[in-house]
Structure 1
Amino acid sequence: MNNDRLMWIVVIGLAAGIGLIAWSEATGGIAGLGARQLAHLVTYGAIGLVVGAAVVATFTGRLGEALRAVALWLVIFAVLAAGYTYRVEIHAVAYRVLAELAPGYAVPLADRGAPAVEVARASDGDFNVRVEINDSRIPMLVDTGASSVVLTPEDAVAVGLPIEFLRYDIPIDTANGRGKAAAVVLDRVAIAGSIEERNVPALIASPGTLKHSLLGMSFLSRLGSFEISGEKLIMRAKIAQ
């Protein structure tokens, strides 16, 4: 079989595939397959034709080598097709592995409802998560016992809040005893780009009061739900009405 004949086989195959797609668009489907499904089928078929033609042209007269080449390409094609088919699941697994290796990394969940994230428990037993506040990310400790989001002065500066003229006149209870804090409103608080709240009331602790910033109930209470399942904390946004 010469190269010209192989080329014409590929061209005719592509033309037939395009014709089937157009017919499917006009009739609403062929053999239960819609235009999108036929487009995928034609794409895969075209790849197979091109690869097959290349193998035949390259290994004419060498059947054993041709069969090995075909087998190799079939394996490669199968792996690529499987990767595309299960791309969402593979993406989720990659996120979960990253969360285990880097505690505090929030994993977006493939949830058909409201946006949701999952956080792995740290080795010290707490749930730490990286939170985006006013376009800057800081590590925070999830604390359902804290009535408000509370930032350390250092983290407040890191997210761009002016602290020079704050009045620390709000009493707070911490693990180190009683302290003082100043009230602020955070323009934006987000986790993993999936859950986002605006105008969140918060406190900035006076210097030396806290070791870690706290993600408290002034943010958590705005969620649709949050729950601990084994070694995971799952937070779901509230479904917009």
Structure 2
Amino acid sequence: MTSMDYGNLIYLVLLGSVLILWFVIESRESLSKKVKQLAAWGLIFLSVIAAYGMWGDIQRATVPTQAVFAGDNRVELPRAPDGHYYLTLKVNGATVPFMVDTGASGVVLTRRDAERAGLDAANMAFYSEAMTANGLVKIAPVTLDSVVLGPFEDRNLPAAVNGGEMQQSLLGMTYLQRFSRLEISNGRMILER
């Protein structure tokens, strides 16, 4: 726990103690009834804290994920709550999450995802440059031996590793153009081969 977490915990304990003390002083006559009410409010309070703490897990469990329809040679991606489309691929055998970016010309990996895919990002030569929404960044050109999405496998896919800070790997047009159809309709992205 960080010092901020400890401070929040101390604040909550003090607040709870003050509320309990006030509750006991105010209700000396009907203490058993008040204890039941206090227990009910305590459970409500704990439920709210638990729901808040698990909110990310709840969202991931309720948001639909990508669907691969192998017989139809089709992949459907739901639009995420942030308005983007995300796709999970196997890159050199490793699972790598991507944000689909139709405005990006290439596939760009974060250093972390490059390492996960078996590429040695620490010894790469970041000699090329790319223009991004955040300005000019250094990149290291690489070739991905294998990129798999359900029944679709592509070999020797050109890509780059971003030399700067990047939150999410981007899946650009060098991969997306391998599909014969790309459609966005009713909150879904459809890719077909």
* Structure showing greater Rg: 1
Q: Which residue of 1 aligns with 2:33?
A: none
Runs of 4+ in 1 over 6 A off after TM superposition: none
Does 2:116 correspond to 1:161?
no
Report how far residue 184 of structure 1 moved: 0.4
Identify if the C-alpha distance between structure 1 residues 140 and 110 changes in structure 2 by more than 3 Å, giving closer, same or farther: closer
Instruction: Indicate conservation of the 8 Å contact 2:63/2:80, yes or no.
Output: no
Match of 2:122, SS? coil
Greater per-residue strand proportion: 2
Does the residue aligned with 1:199 lie in a helix, a strand or coil? strand
* Partner in structure 2 of residue 137 of structure 1: 95
Name structure 2 gaps, 5 residues minimum.
1-59
Offset, 1:102: 4.2
Whole-angstrom distance in 2 between the partners of 1:153 and 1:197: 21
Q: CA RMSD in A?
A: 1.8
Q: 2:163 aligns with which of 186, 206, 229?
A: 206
The 8 Å contact of residues 93 and 117 in structure 2, kept in 1 or not, is answered as yes
Question: Which structure has more RCO (C-alpha within 8 Å, separation ≥ 6)?
Answer: 2
Identity %: 38
Q: Report the 3-state secondary structure (helix = DSSP H, G, I; strand = E; otherwise coil) of the residue aligned with 1:167.
A: coil
Of residues 117, 123, 135, the one that matches 1:177 is: 135
CA shift in 2, pair 1:179/1:143, >3 Å? same
* Deviation for aligned residue 1:111: 4.4
Query: Secondary structure at the residue paired with 2:123?
Result: coil
Q: What is the aligned counterpart of 2:188 among 229, 232, 238?
A: 232
Number of residue pairs aligned between Structure 1 and Structure 2: 134
Q: Deviations over 1:67-103 (max 9, x none)?
A: xxxxxxxxxxxxxxxxxxxxxxxxxxxxxxxx98345
Q: Is the 8 A contact 1:133 1:186 kept in 2?
A: yes
Q: TM-score, normalised by structure 2?
A: 0.64
The aligned runs of 1:1-241 (5 Å cut-off) are 101-103=62-64, 105-109=65-69, 111-112=71-72, 115-191=73-149, 193-208=150-165, 210-237=166-193
TM-score (norm 1): 0.52
The aligned amino acid for 1:194 is P
Question: Deviation string for 1:161-189 (max 9, x for gaps)?
Answer: 11222111111122322111010000111
